[in-house]
């Protein structure tokens, strides 16, 4: 179980990010074949993210009521059908419809899979396994554009979405064969609209959850700024080609994987609070570095252009697994709802970033860097606020019953 769960869950959690950026190298071909402008084609990203965010609030509560496996299997089946629809789409409007359907279904694997670890494991073991999942999960954004570029060497852009469909079939088979049901019937909640909505409201009303969720979303949002705007940053800002996306993604994701590895090694050795605080500080230092580099003549020269981003990703890798566990421990009986609502907030931020922020700041490396620094700084402030209130509650003996303050793990 310990050996299989991280691999299977990491593969499932890869569906979301992998589906976002695999088509990036095909944007010039898609723009030509669909006869649309670059700004219109950016909707291929934002439609997926908006749909993912909208449905993300339901995947977790559904898994709390029906079990983890059924939700993941149905979602993967729909994802496969939607991918085929994208492959045969004759125009942009049809492509966007099926791309949105991809987004609606991808969360069943990406979101629900993360609850399984906390269903089964506690304490340092949960942190170690969550960090291992994050390491493997981090590969997806790096290999997505690379695989997309390689597929373009043997076929046209619809082949990328055929590959998505095949991925859905393979992952469904892995769930059936290797992943047990970790949420037994006696622990499930009723499948009623009132219970689903009530559970989400219960989670969303807790201030501690909001602080942790926004800290996670904002710090990762600084990294996603470059992921969602990769087609602009790599091609327009850096002047690279369709096979050069690896120059952005490999160092960024490599740094995030290193941070996740550090997080796993730190489990049981230092508190969650100290680990997250150090990670936040490293990410902020990366944001400052990115701005300083972007203000120099080497702003668009590699590798300097991605040094600051890589440091942000290192800090994010150290904080992300632990922050997720801290959120899940806010509501042990509503883990699916916790994961859904936190994912919704992050995806909503990412969708706004992709559709509204990237087109505005994406004209220069400095625009990307300043925006990333603002996001990281805001995330660090949310974490500092959470720590300060945790200290206050601890001092007055006012921590919520059954939970320690921040340094839980």
30: domain CATH number is: 1.20.1250.20
Asked whether residue 405 is assigned to any structural domain, the reply reads: no
Residue 161 near residue 84 (C-beta atoms within 8 A): yes
Task: Report pLDDT for 400.
Answer: 45
User: Whole-angstrom Cα distance, residue 405 to residue 394?
Assistant: 7
DSSP characters for 94-153? HHHHHHHHHHHHHHHHHTHHHHHHHHH--HHHHHHHHHHHHHHHTHHHHHHHHHHHHHHT
Residue 372 near residue 220 (C-beta atoms within 8 A): no
Supply 102's token pair. Answer: 């991809």
Residue spans of alpha helices (H) in 179-306:
193-205, 207-228, 230, 246-266, 272-294
Residue 155, class by beta-carbon neighbours within 10 Å (0-12 exposed, 13-18 middle, 19+ buried)? exposed
Asked whether residue 31 is assigned to any structural domain, the reply reads: yes
What are the CA-CA distances from residue 399 to residues 330, 383, 402 (Å)?
12, 17, 8
What are residue 354's phi and psi, to 5 degrees?
Answer: -70, -40
Asked whether residue 352 is assigned to any structural domain, the reply reads: yes
Asked whether residue 404 is assigned to any structural domain, the reply reads: no
Which residue numbers in the chain have pLDDT < 50?
Answer: 398-409
Asked whether residue 82 is assigned to any structural domain, the reply reads: yes
Task: Report pLDDT for 408.
Answer: 37
Asked whether residue 260 is assigned to any structural domain, the reply reads: yes
Tokens 């987004």 belong to residue: 103
Residue 360, class by beta-carbon neighbours within 10 Å (0-12 exposed, 13-18 middle, 19+ buried)? exposed
User: Whole-angstrom Cα distance, residue 370 to residue 287?
Assistant: 8
User: Whole-angstrom Cα distance, residue 294 to residue 338?
Assistant: 37
Asked whether residue 388 is assigned to any structural domain, the reply reads: yes
Cβ atoms within 10 Å, residue 370:
17
Task: Report pLDDT for 76.
Answer: 93
Supply 167's token pair. Answer: 């991925």
What domain count does the chain have?
A: 1
Asked whether residue 263 is assigned to any structural domain, the reply reads: yes
* Full residue range of the structural domain in which residue 273 is found: 4-396
Q: What is the CA radius of gyration of the chain?
A: 20
């Amino acid at each position: 179980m310990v050996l299989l769960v991280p691999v299977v869950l990491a593969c499932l959690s890869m569906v979301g990010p992998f589906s976002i950026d695999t088509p990036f190298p095909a944007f010039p071909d898609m723009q030509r074949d669909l006869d649309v402008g670059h700004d219109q084609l950016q909707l291929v990203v934002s439609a997926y993210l908006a749909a993912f965010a909208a449905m993300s609030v339901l995947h977790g509560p559904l898994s709390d009521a029906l079990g983890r496996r059924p939700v993941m299997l149905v979602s993967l089946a729909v994802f496969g059908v939607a991918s085929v629809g994208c492959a045969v789409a004759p125009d942009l409007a049809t492509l966007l419809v099926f791309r949105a359907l991809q987004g609606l279904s991808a969360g069943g694997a990406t979101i629900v899979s993360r609850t399984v670890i906390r269903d089964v494991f506690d304490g340092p073991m949960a942190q170690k396994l969550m960090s291992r999942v994050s390491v493997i999960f981090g590969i997806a954004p790096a290999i997505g554009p690379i695989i997309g570029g390689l597929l373009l060497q043997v076929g046209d852009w619809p082949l990328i979405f055929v590959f998505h469909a095949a991925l859905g079939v393979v992952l469904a088979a892995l769930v059936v064969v290797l992943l047990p049901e970790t949420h037994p019937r006696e622990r499930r909640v009723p499948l009623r609209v009132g219970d689903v909505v009530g559970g989400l409201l219960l989670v969303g009303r807790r201030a501690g959850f909001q602080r942790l969720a926004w800290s996670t979303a904002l710090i990762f949002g600084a990294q996603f700024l470059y992921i969602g705007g990769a087609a602009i940053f790599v091609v327009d800002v850096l002047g690279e080609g369709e096979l050069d996306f690896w120059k952005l993604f490999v160092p960024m994701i490599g740094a995030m994987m290193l941070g996740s590895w550090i997080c796993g090694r730190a489990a049981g050795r230092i508190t969650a609070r100290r680990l997250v605080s150090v990670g936040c500080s490293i990410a902020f230092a990366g944001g400052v570095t990115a701005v300083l580099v972007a203000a120099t003549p080497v702003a668009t020269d590699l590798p300097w252009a991605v040094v600051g981003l890589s440091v942000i990703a290192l800090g994010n890798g150290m904080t992300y697994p632990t922050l997720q566990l801290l959120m899940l421990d806010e509501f042990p009986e509503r883990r699916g709802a916790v994961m859904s609502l936190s994912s919704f907030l992050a995806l909503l931020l990412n969708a706004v970033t992709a559709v509204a922020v990237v087109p505005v700041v994406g004209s220069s490396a400095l625009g990307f860097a300043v925006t990333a620094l603002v996001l990281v700084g805001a995330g660090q402030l949310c974490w500092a606020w959470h720590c300060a209130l945790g200290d206050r509650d601890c001092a007055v003996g006012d921590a919520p019953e059954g939970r320690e303050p921040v340094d839980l793990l």
